[in-house]
Amino acid sequence: MAIIDPGHAAKQLVYERVFRAATLTAAVLVLLILGGVAVSLIRGAWPALKHFGFSFVTREIWNPVTDEYGALAPIYGTVVTSLIAMLLAVPTGFGIALFLTELCPPLLKRPIGVAVELLAAVPSIIFGIWGLFVLAPLLQRHVQPWLIEHAHPIPGIGKLFMGPPFGIGIFTAGIVLAIMVLPFIAATMRDVFDTVPPMLKESGYGLGATKWEVIWNVVVPHSRVGVVGGIMLGLGRALGETMAVTFVIGNAHRISTSLLAPGTTISSAIANEFTEAVGDLYTSSLIALGLLLFLITFTVIAAAQWMLRRLERRSVA
């Protein structure tokens, strides 16, 4: 029968209490930092919010000369570029993850997986330079003229591809964002698909299911919570991207129905103008843009958490 040393037990109890206090401190510190960021943004944005009121969110004008500011154009650009990025990156990332986990030959699985992970390590400014000097001219000469010509007769779609082919613009920014968030989405989905127990897939094959039926009816339902989490991770990355978007979006404070036209986002507007902001109202308006981006990102994360909890409850039920 083992004898418990009272001194050793007391020492372990102290260690446990210290460890618990340290982890609690770290968790509370995160909340304090988040609250401090929110308070700082609110204090900095208050002069602009007090001066313009709710019209700050609904106005398109942005004129530093007359001190007239509105956040509608940056909000529009942020949302639209992120949606374009997700429309392009989610199906592609989903396909990459399924190929690596279910269809890829063993010889290619590791090289492709490493390449996807290395793509996430490329600095955003490199994507911006590549987008400006390589992607934008390519789109201007070949892709955008084709879209303008062939999409024009389609009702509803034609308005999205009107005007001259600038090369830079919201559409180009969306493509660059899609490339940037693709490795995060693909890597997350791949890791989630790898957690599916082999027994479940083998059971499907034993019942005569095809590869596609096993993927769609076994792999995807079992890992849908992680899939949604990966999508939301990519969306959060797209909403806050700054430098790459600044290079290729055109930085124009206006709203256009055409995706080929220049625009702006909240992060690119702040990056472009904060060092040149003269006057308290101008600076406060830029901080108010940061507050709006904070709220948008927080709302997206909260919605993702709510959605994940609903999916978990359904899977348990």
Q: Which of 174, 212, 195 is nearest to 86 (CA)?
A: 174
Q: Are 126 and 238 in contact (CB under 8 A)?
A: no
Digit-by-digit pLDDT tens for the chain (317 residues) are 456 677 777 888 888 999 999 999 999 999 999 999 999 999 999 999 999 999 999 999 999 989 899 999 999 999 999 999 999 999 999 999 999 988 888 888 888 888 888 888 889 999 999 999 999 999 999 999 999 888 878 887 888 888 888 899 999 999 999 999 999 999 889 988 888 888 888 888 888 888 888 888 888 888 888 888 888 888 888 988 888 999 999 988 989 889 999 999 999 999 999 888 888 999 999 999 999 999 998 888 888 888 778 777 776 65
Domain layout of the chain by residue ranges: 71-275
**Residue with tokens 């930092």, as numbered in its chain:** 33
Residue 13, phi then psi, degrees to nearest 5: -65, -40
CA distance 123 to 120: 8
CA distance 176 to 170: 10
pLDDT in the model for residue 4: 65
> In sequence order, which residues have a C-beta less than 8 Å from that of residue 75 and are 6 or more positions away?
57, 266, 292, 296
Q: Are 311 and 222 in contact (CB under 8 A)?
A: no
Q: How many CA atoms lie within 13 A of 201 on its CB side?
A: 16
Query: Is the CATH number of domain 71-275 3.40.47.10?
Result: no
CA distance 65 to 58: 20
Q: What does the radius of gyration of the chain's CA atoms come to, in whole angstroms?
A: 25
Q: Which of 196, 244, 263, 304 is nearest to 62 (CA)?
A: 263
pTM of the model: 0.88
If you count DSSP H runs as helices and E runs as strands, how many of each does the chain have, helices first? 15, 2
